Structure 1
Amino acid sequence: MIILLAPQQLLPDHGVLKSLHIKKEAGKIDYEILSFSEREAKTTFDALPAAARKLLPRFGEKGISELKDTIRRKYSARTSRPDFDVFYRQAALRALHELFVGLKPYTGQVKWYHRVKQQDHNYKTAPCRFSEAKPLLQFDVIREEGRLNIRVQVKLAGQALADGRSAREGGNTRPLADFRRYHFLLELDNNYFLLGYRDFLLLEWLEKNPPSLYGDDPAAFTHHVLARLEESHSVNRNNLMEEDRVDALPVNRLLLSELNGAFLLLTPQWIYDDFLAEGPFTATLEINRGGRTYIIRRNKQAEEDFQALLRSLHPAFEKQSNGYFYLSFADAQKKQWFLKTYHRLQEQDIELTGMDMLQHFRYSPHKAQTQAALEEGDGELLTMTLEVSFGKEKISLGTLQKTLMAGQRAVLLKGHTLGILSDEWLTQYATLIRHGKISGSKLLVPRWMALTRGGESPETEIFKPVLKAGWWEKWEYWQERQEPLYPPPAGMQAALRPYQQKGYEWLLLLAETGAGACLADDMGLGKTLQTIAFLLKRLEQDASARHLVVCPASLIYNWQQELEKFAPGINSLAYHGASRTASGPEGAPAQVLITSYGTLRSDEELLAGISFDTVVIDESHHIKNPDALVTRAVNRLQAAARITLSGTPVMNNTFDLYSQLHFLVPGMFGSREFFRKQYANPIDRDRDEEKTNALRKLTAPFILRRTKEQVAPELPEKTETVLWCNMGPGQREQYETIKSAIRSSIFLEIKQQGIGKSKLAIIQGITRLRQACNSPLLLPAEDRINGDSIKTEMLMEELCNDLKDRKVLVFSQFSSMLHLLSDACRQRGIDHYHFDGSTPSRERMEMVNKFQDESNPVNVFLISLMAGNTGLNLTAASYIFLFDPWWNTAVQEQAVDRSHRIGQTRKVFAYKMVCRDSIEEKIIGMQQQKKQLAGDLIGEGDGFVKQLSLEDLEYLLA
């Protein structure tokens, strides 16, 4: 009683199972193979149960013929017919799989042989075993050659294999690659396993959609691969995808829905920092969004308290313990229970969602009628009346605001009908109500919301008293026409380019309304010049007014020099260091004070006590952290006009905008929690286009950004190239020795203390490897094997030969590397300038001025990356070397744009010097994987380092 399995015949002729008779005569073995028939099943396999004997003939010639006829009939009966071969293949495999499922419980009661075609095209017939164990698929995210991929493994049930070994001897889980797969049959060491049909289809899908196609894009990998796999299986991500931990107090929310069309269903939910949790309590919840994994720590006490509150709402709820609560619609409407409960929950700040999906409730035939009027138009907050009604029923502002904050568009009316807020109504009023503060029956709205209404919006008439007479006409003129709106200031010693004239006029227009302005033009387009024109115009209007510029210390004398050059009539003073007067800033005789962020922190009380006409915050990304002391000091400054300047106002994520906007238009964007929930999290985590567009519309009047491509097409071409450096044997030996030692120590520390507490050691280790790429001379003397530096050799060769008559900038993050390069220049007789963070600002400007002089023969400038990446004008140079590229591409771009800016007439060539087969080469690759954008304002930040995962480290230190 032997069954012969021919797995390779599953599809060609479906003759996958036959009856095998073995005859031994005179020392010879003969095989007789018979097709299954009812007679063969009954006579040869009479020991099998009747259910099994009925199945075997269906694998025979007659059974397969009937199967083919059935499939053809089903195909002919279809109204829409797919390709027949595709349809036939799917139907045949499905039917054969069902037969194997029926036969599987009896496979252990017979002997099995299999007949398999070998590579030499001969067939091998040998004993095998058909296991009753069910193979389970497991999926692991892996990284192969720097790309994400999926490893499929098969978990076996520990059954003995044909050779007597247990599956556990080779591990209970084996890679799918160890098996031979014949559609839904798996074979390992002459053992056969039957895949579940869904698992079979999943493997077929993976073959047609290789995960490696998305290996360079974590977000696409999650969307196209993980989302499909996680519909039916858990996937071990192995810390390869971005992961964040969320530890926040939950916001209680109640989902309203219908059960069987007869019951009102109340399902408690909890929002943890915009992540939804519901159902039975678990200590943590894992959610995947945009290629990142978020681990939410749930608060058991808070969730139980909310459930207890809901249980107290109705006697029927006391006996319900399924994690949700239900009530018949008749009971819900008795004595206005639902209406009273609805308002009670709203009063306790519990979000209600699902209202607009309830079918049992009738929709109100009335549209939302709105009456709005401005009562007071002075100060930063406007007081307005806003009455919304459906028919004769008025809706309270509190109910409206809570409904909108919960993302709903339906309100419950007294007659248990639903009032629907139309798209048109939401466009006109939703943002006002969300951003406003409710005071009784009044709505307090930030006055600058008037600028977001648009010249043709219905509410513009309401806000007209907020703006000076004729302002809207000037605003429309500025937007639509190219002719100047305002003449340039009389004392301006420079002709403004057309786009600079527009920027200058924009600053003036916003100042007229009392709103702040963020000038976010690309680096090199003249933000400083446009601001000087604005200050000069304000001084024309009031010569006694005082103005303040706050900037990094390295830019103080650059500002003073630019003021002297373009507006010599302005009396300016660098209020910094020893130049501060004994009487403080109040006694400093200057129309424009220029100070540093550090001085502002030190003299916060003195500077906060002065009423300035204008405060300019240069490189305003320095105040992106709302908790920083310097941010607090900036927000205490008194000013009639506020300006921020930054080519990169968003360094890491959308939340970077909050503090800068709060300085410019205080109160308009609410609390930081409000901004995170309404904009930052939906945009950064969920890529919510609606929220992105809403924020862009709100910020559009206050942020002006032009790129070089848009407004300065005359700028010469910029070419960026990686200059690959191959370390010599000595430097390579040094590098590999250090890498081996660092790898061992870092992973030992991570094992002992965890990756969170090992960040300092990680950064120190990575820094040492980068130093080894630059020059082993940067390492402690006891760690050096030699002093070879391929980068230094290549740079010096370029400076001495091809570039000896060209102006060149060389940037390095390490000041000690600059000293080594300075020594190398002196040894080769190359005259050069050199400054880093320790060089006084005045000396820096002197060197810059000399370098810019075309007649000056000094052609090389060695500059610290962080000290010289902003504010400097170095257009005399057309060649830039980034000696040691770093994570933050925005900082590198700023350094390159010291040369590629207005005033440059030559082509600019920028070179990143990168050692092959080193951590530098891997950093370049990871920059692309980690890059995130939010509109046109997002760059990259050093948070990249802090977010390194264990897998990232494995990759960097491999």
Structure 2
Amino acid sequence: MNGTLLEKKDTKVVLLFTPEEFHRNYQVLQSLQINKSTKGIDYTTGDLNRQEVYKNFPSLTQDAKVLLLKFQSEAISELRQSIEQRFAKQKAGISGQQFLTNALHRHFHQLFLDLRPYFTDVKWYHKIRKPENPRYQTLPCSFHLTKARLRFDVIKDENGLGIQAWVVIDDQPHNLADFVRHTFFLEKDNTYYLLAYKDSQTIQWLEQPEAKQYANDPAAFTEHVIGRLESDYSVNRNGLFEEKQVEAIPVCRVMLSELNNSFLMITPQWLYDGVTVDGPWKDTYETTLNGERIRIARHKATEQDFLKALVALHTNFTNQFNGYYYLPFAEAQKKQWFIKSYYKLLEMDIEVAGMDLLQHFKYSAHQAETVVSIQKEQGSFVHLQVAVSFGKEKISLTQLQKTLYAGQRAIVLKDGSLGMLSDDWLRQHAAIIKHGTVKGSEIVVSKFLAIPESGTEDAKPILGNLVNESWWQKWQRWQTGTEPVYSLPQSISATLRPYQQKGFEWLALLADIGAGGCLADDMGLGKTLQTICFLAWYCEQYPQTKHLIVCPTSLIYNWQQELQKFASSLKVEVIHGTNRSDNASIVSAQVLITSYGTLRSNSDILLSQEFGVAVLDESHHIKNPAAQITRLVQEIPATIRIALSGTPVVNNTFDLYSQLNYSLPGLFGTREFFKREYADAIDRYGDEYKIKALQRLTAPFILRRTKEQVAKDLPEKTESVLWCKMGPRQEELYNEVKDQIRTRLLGDIQTNGLGKSKLAVLQGLLKLRQICNDPQLLPLDEQQGCTESTKTEMLLEELSNLLGRHRVLVFSQFSSMLQLLARACEKKGISYYLLDGQTPAEKRMQMVNNFQENGNAPSLFFISLKAGNTGLTLTAADYVFLFDPWWNTAVEQQAIDRTYRIGQTKNVFSYKLICKNTIEEKIIELQNRKKQLAEELVSEDEGFVKALSEDDIAYLFS
């Protein structure tokens, strides 16, 4: 009897928390009966059903008991079924398992959030595996009532930039690495801290490889990592980044609004390089836009003078300024104070914004009437006499332009009403007013606005008479007809495809009115040929003119060759490196070809010439308006300026400005105007109206066609996978290294989190991919004497069947792999070409020419993926082998497109060599899962890697 009583006395029931269940069956809470006896301690778990909860936790409130019942297995099963039924409404691209996981995690986070007030009302144990002991342990634990929060430091070490995360508890910071994360809980010393759900997601994101991808790219790290964090958290940059320093005289403006529906509120603001600053005076203003840290040195004199001017507008303002001034509406309208003040502000060159939102002003019954007459033409500019009026009141052009600059459509009239500019008026007149330079009652504007203006819906063109009727007829025929508008020059030795004829004619049409443009066709569609046809046509029209082509160094000899091939009658001179031509050669040449670098170092010679046409190839090289090369190309004395680029927009809308301002000087205003009017509005705020306005403005001057649109007659392209089975020794080495990496990585991730293991992940992936190619890519002490390569054997077998009848390209991202393949071919007497990052431009072009044209030249071309996946035309080849898969499928496609492009007449066969049951097969699987993402990240070599989740990494090393 006494023994029985003793056993009852040593029996207690607690709550058992098993955090690993978040990744299994979600049975995270159970009851735990602890029985102590002379034999030891015995644990018995039970489900949190109604009987268990009410019997074992009688002291809990009714609300707490109801919450515990939601953790019972039956409730979890019903929840899972409910979520699976909702799966039909999932967002595209999310797997069913991911949808279920996300929903369950959110549900349980809310349950623990509701349960938190009762954390200390019960005893807790947890069942976990400690890093130092892989076996499960059942130990007492506790849950902290205080909410943990996050803050971050940017750090820099030998591996580059990174993020140090801190957990702030009771105002004391703790290193995140000292905690173990269990979904949305952090655990340290058997104590759990519940994170906000957003915080748990942030930590999970930081544990992905993404930040590591940008470790050595400060600009990308700032935008993609710090920028994302700073939208929600405090981030100490520790002075590791250059801040954008803005030192400028600000644009002063007032923002009008209504306060409590009774007061007119006037908020003074200052625009520094498009950034709005308001509030009390400080020497500097710091902000972050798209991850870029901006430090503005505020101009005290300008701001104080502005505030003095505002205070002088009304006696009530003398003792006001909490960041704004205010007046009752009755006071604002007394003695026409508002009207007079409005015009005073405009006279002081102060913008007025917010008019459109005011409700306490009447609207004029009159619509804007506008009369425009052309006064004179001056080069590519035209002087317009413009008169705008509402009823009998004429509006000053300066006032009108400032109103439009401020993004407003309401103008305060002298009778106190608001004159509204209609949508039709804005479509017809806004571009001319905003893009022009006001001189009294005149506006000076680029005459090339005539072309987009003529496409304005329901509007009579104002500038249409600047272009003769015969040109408009040709423009219409070019847009809608199928017959040629211009004949191809007789000196051209080529037959153009229909869209190439259209491209040549487009360039000629623009040149006929003195305009340039940006030819932005997809890669491989023949931008070079279309431009050469245009140059030959221009030489026929103006025989005495000289022309300039500026391009990357790697394309100089491609241009020289193409000109010789298609327009051999033109005298061409290359000015580059040691091949600098003498003055006599320059004077006699019709076409000069140079590089961006040579233009920079020899600007005195090249800019002293007069050119008919100046062509910039890969014109995105001048996307930075502040760069020296951009300033130099703007100074090229040319009548017609042509930009060529398959990717005119690399990062943002502002990339367009320099290229279009080069092609059409003056049409797009100053860089400050373009940035504020279009680039910032589109890139920062996604302004749909501005997007359409810029599209309408640029449409006549940018011509872009894709292969899918215009090259439907390309022969068939077949893409296949050649599966390779490793030999015993190679497979043994692969599995041994994989197991070592997996064991080490999983331990590191469990202990330190993925965030501190990213570099090791990438190194592990690289090592396994090298073994798949050839173990000889590893350091000598890691090869374990294995020299067999199944891929090399398969490739050599394929080549033996193809060479002699076909021409073959072989791509690898490893230059050292290409060297191994080259040696293997030498042993078998197979001749080849090899191109990598060390190949000089002259030799590169010589090899390409021989491969393309010399039937006796080697028919095998080894090419480094990074060095040769752009800028090459190798249509002589009809077989392509990708020796190793790349993360980004778009990069692979660019490699294949060296041969699958215009000029290809044969069917193209492309093969990926993939080792079965290895990381390469898993990369293919992940590519398929993340296909949409991979296609979007064309410009980022490691774009695919950055999207890998912890589950993806576990899968890769499984």
Fold conserved (TM > 0.5)? yes
Matches within 5 A, 1:426-505: 426-454=426-454, 462-464=462-464, 466-468=466-468, 470-505=470-505
Structure-2 change in CA distance of 1:287 and 1:568 (3 Å): closer
Residue equivalent to 1:182: none
How many residues align? The count is 777
Q: Deviations over 1:106-131 (max 9, x none)?
A: xxxxxxxxxx9856998852313239
How much does 1:743 deviate? 12
Other structure's SS at 1:617 match: strand
**Residue 876 of structure 1, CA deviation:** 2.1
1:163 aligns with 2:130: no
**1:888–1:941 contact (8 Å) kept in structure 2:** no
Tell me, in whole angstroms, the C-alpha distance in 1 between the residues paired with 2:122 and 2:381.
Answer: 82
- Give 2:612's aligned residue: 613
Match status 1:730 vs 2:733: yes
Residue number in structure 2 paired with 1:372: 372
Query: Hey, what does 2:715 align to over in structure 1?
Result: 716
Question: What is the aligned partner in structure 1 of residue 677 from structure 2?
Answer: 678
Residue in 2 that maps onto 1:906: 906
Pairing of 1:873-888 with structure 2 (within 5 A): 873-883=873-883
Aligned to 1:13: none
* Residue number in structure 1 paired with 2:653: 654
In the other structure, the counterpart of 1:225 is: none
**Residues 878 and 909, structure 2, Cα contact 8 Å, conserved in 1:** yes
Deviation at 1:871, TM superposition (A): 4.0
Deviates more, 1:277-286 or 1:606-615: 277-286
Name the structure 1 match of 2:258. Answer: 258
Mapping for residues 702-851 of structure 1, pairs under 5 Å: 702-720=701-719, 728-731=731-734, 792-793=791-792, 796=795, 799-800=798-799, 803-804=802-803, 806-851=806-851
SS of residue paired to 1:700: helix
Q: 2:516 maps to which residue?
A: 516
Question: Alignment partner for residue 125 of structure 1, among 37, 51, 55?
Answer: 55
- Asked if the contact 2:888/2:944 (under 8 Å) is kept, the reply is no
- Residue 315 of structure 1, CA deviation: 3.2
1:354 aligns with 2:354: yes
Quick one: structure 1 residues 845 and 408, their matched pair in 2 at CA, closer, same or farther if it must change by over 3 Å? Answer: same
Give CA-to-partner distance per residue, 1:662-704, whole Å, 9 cap, x none.
1100122223333233223333344333222222211111111
1:576 and 1:248, CA in 2 relative to 1: closer, same or farther beyond 3 A? closer
Contact 2:279 2:323 (C-alpha < 8 Å) held by counterparts: yes
Q: Cα–Cα, structure 1 residues 698 and 534, in superposed 2: closer, same or farther, change >3 Å?
A: same
C-alpha distance after superposition, 1:893-938 (max 9, x if no partner): 44322211122233334456678548977995898676797xxxxx
Match of 1:408 in 2: 408
Contact 2:382 2:446 in 1 (8 A): yes
Gaps of 5+ in 2: 1-7, 9-45, 68-93, 126-139, 149-180, 199-203, 211-230
C-alpha distance in structure 1 between counterparts of 2:390 and 2:234, whole Å? 51
Secondary structure class of the residue paired with 1:902 = coil
Mark the runs of 5 or more structure 1 residues left unpaired by the alignment. 1-27, 29-115, 136-142, 180-188, 194-198, 204-210, 218-233, 934-938
Q: Which whole-Å deviations, capped at 9, do the CAs of 1:18-72 have from their partners, x for residues lacking one? A: xxxxxxxxxx9xxxxxxxxxxxxxxxxxxxxxxxxxxxxxxxxxxxxxxxxxxxx
Letter in 1 for 2:831: D
The aligned residue for residue 939 of structure 2 is 941
Q: Decide whether aligned partners of structure 1 residues 300 and 656 sit closer, same or farther in structure 2, where only a CA change above 3 A counts.
A: closer
For residue 24 of structure 2, what is the aligned residue in structure 1? none
Q: SS of 1:488's equivalent? A: coil
Q: State which structure, 1 or 2, has the greater radius of gyration over its C-alpha atoms.
A: 1
Instruction: Give the 3 Å change call, closer, same or farther, for CA 538–608 of structure 1 in structure 2.
Output: same
SS at match of 1:578: coil
The 5 Å alignment of 1:332-347 reads: 332-347=332-347
The answer to whether the 8 A contact 2:428-2:456 is kept is: no
Separation (CA, whole Å) in 1 of partners of 2:183 and 2:749: 33
Contact 1:280-1:323 within 8 A present in 2 as well = yes
Secondary structure of 1:264's partner?
strand
Q: Secondary structure at the match of 2:555?
A: helix
Q: Does the residue aligned with 2:373 lie in a helix, a strand or coil?
A: strand
Residue 583, structure 1, aligned to residue 583, structure 2: yes
DSSP-derived class of the 1:579 partner: coil
For residues 900 and 519 of structure 2, the distance between their equivalents in structure 1, rounded to whole angstroms, comes to: 19
Aligned residue in 2 for 1:597:
596
Structure 1 residues 280, 626: closer, same or farther in 2, change over 3 A? closer
Q: Within 1, Cα distance between the matches of 2:277 and 2:825?
A: 62
Matched position secondary structure for 1:450: helix
Query: Partner amino acid for 2:939?
Result: G
1:608: Cα distance to partner?
0.8
> For the structure 1 residues 299 and 252, does the alpha-carbon distance in structure 2 shift closer, same or farther, using more than 3 Å as the test?
farther
Aligned partner of 1:44 in structure 2 is none
The Cα of 1:503 is off from its aligned counterpart by 1.4
Map of 1:70 onto structure 2 = none
Q: 1:546–1:612: 8 Å Cα contact kept in structure 2?
A: yes
Secondary structure in structure 2 of the residue aligned to 1:377? strand
Read off the aligned partner of 1:617 and give its amino acid letter. L
> What percentage of aligned pairs have identical amino acids?
47
Tell me by how many angstroms 1:275 deviates. Answer: 6.7
CA distance in 1, matches of 2:762, 2:275: 31
Contact 1:515 1:664 in 2 (8 A): yes
Alignment CA distance shift 1:632-1:257 (3 Å): closer
Q: One-letter code of the match for 1:163? A: K
Question: 524-533 or 426-435, which moves further after superposition?
Answer: 524-533
Output aligned runs, 1:132-147, within 5 Å: none
Q: Which amino acid aligns with 2:861?
A: F
Change (3 A) 1:473 1:248: same
Does the 8 A contact of 1:773 with 1:789 survive in 2? no
Does 906-915 or 567-576 show the bigger shift? 906-915
How far apart, CA to CA, are the structure 2 residues paired with 1:949 and 1:316? Answer: 58
Q: Is the 8 A contact 2:714 2:902 kept in 1?
A: yes
User: Is 433-442 or 922-931 further displaced after alignment?
Assistant: 922-931
**Shift in alpha-carbon separation, 1:258–1:309, aligned structure 2, 3 A:** same
Distance 1:609 1:285, change over 3 A: closer
Distance 1:911 1:481, change over 3 A: same
Aligned-partner residue type, residue 162 of structure 1:
V
Letter in 2 for 1:864: S
Corresponding residue of 1:17: none
CA contact (8 A) 1:271 1:277 kept: yes
Contact 2:834–2:862 under 8 Å retained in 1: yes
Q: One-letter code of the match for 1:602?
A: S
Work out the CA distance in 2 between the residues paired with 1:277 and 1:740.
53
SS in 2 for 1:398: helix
By how many angstroms is 1:365 displaced?
1.0
Deviation, 1:434, is 1.8
List per-residue Cα deviations over 1:863-908 (Å, max 9, x = no partner): 2345433443211222323456667766654432221112223333
1:570–1:123 Cα change, 3 Å: closer
Q: Is 1:631 matched up with 2:630?
A: yes
In 2, Cα distance between the equivalents of 1:953 and 1:540?
Answer: 64
Partner residue of 2:329?
A: 329
Which amino acid counterpart does residue 680 of structure 1 have in structure 2?
A: A
- 2 CA distance for matches of 1:900 and 1:177? 48
- Secondary structure at the aligned position of 1:518 is classed as strand
Give the match for residue 542 of structure 1.
542
Alignment partner of 2:394: what SS?
Answer: strand
Give the direction of change, closer, same or farther, for the CA distance of 1:911–1:739 in structure 2 (3 Å limit).
farther
SS in 2 for 1:848: helix
Q: What SS does structure 1 have at the residue aligned with 2:59?
A: strand
